Amino acid sequence: MLSARSVAVGHGRTPLLSGVDLDVGPGEIVGLVGPSGGGKTSLARVLAGLDKPLEGEVRVDGRVAMLFQSPRRSVDPRLTLRRSIEICATESGVDWERLCTKADLPLGLLDRYPRQVSDGQLQRAAIARALAGEPRYLLCDEMTAALDPVTTAAVVTTVRRAADEDGAGVLFISHDLPLVGACSDRVLEIQGTRVAPSTALSTRKATRS
């Protein structure tokens, strides 16, 4: 379980969010929605262990990987896609065909540099890189914001597959409310400085039942 208890996040001493209690279980997709600048990214970074909380505690029982809105800011432009993925792999021998199939990344792109591929292709490479590390949890921070609808659908399918087939727990952060509802088992909403369950969105769990 990835858990936050009484967590406060923000910049300096001023919290954007406080008293956050949150759980993400293996194989579960939890959506998080809220206003721009409301603390979604700050919370994700704390959950990923990239930043420390102002208050509270985060506990996790496995590896965490984070996917960002702009994949170009999270890759080294001097490395090919293959090398970027290899660095994060848990095993020395990567099953490229299996990994690229899971991430919907064409094998022919592996030896290209970030500047030689589109944003959508680079985001797929970022997903492949995350999956190569065999994470127990995926934190997706507005990862579809810069993508076209077709690419967004493909990327969301990949995330769903990671949860349904690999058992990864997913925190899916987006400003796209219908998208969050469609792909999440339950949805949390930022209300002021608090995070609470959302009752406004229909989720995929409700749709399936």
Domain ranges across the chain = 2-76+136-208
Among the listed residues 191, 91, 176, 88, the one whose alpha carbon sits nearest the alpha carbon of residue 138: 88
Handedness of CA 172, 177, 181, 183 (dihedral sign): negative
Domain 2-76+136-208 has CATH 3.30.720.120: no
Q: Which pTM does this prediction carry?
A: 0.90
Please list the pLDDT of the chain residue by residue as tens digits (209 residues).
999 999 999 987 889 999 999 999 999 999 999 988 899 999 999 999 999 999 999 999 999 999 998 889 889 999 999 999 999 887 667 889 999 999 999 999 999 999 999 999 999 999 999 999 999 999 999 999 888 899 899 999 999 999 999 999 999 999 888 899 999 999 999 999 999 998 776 565 555 54
Is residue 69 a contact partner of residue 142, using CB atoms and an 8 Å limit?
yes
Per-residue DSSP letter, 172: E
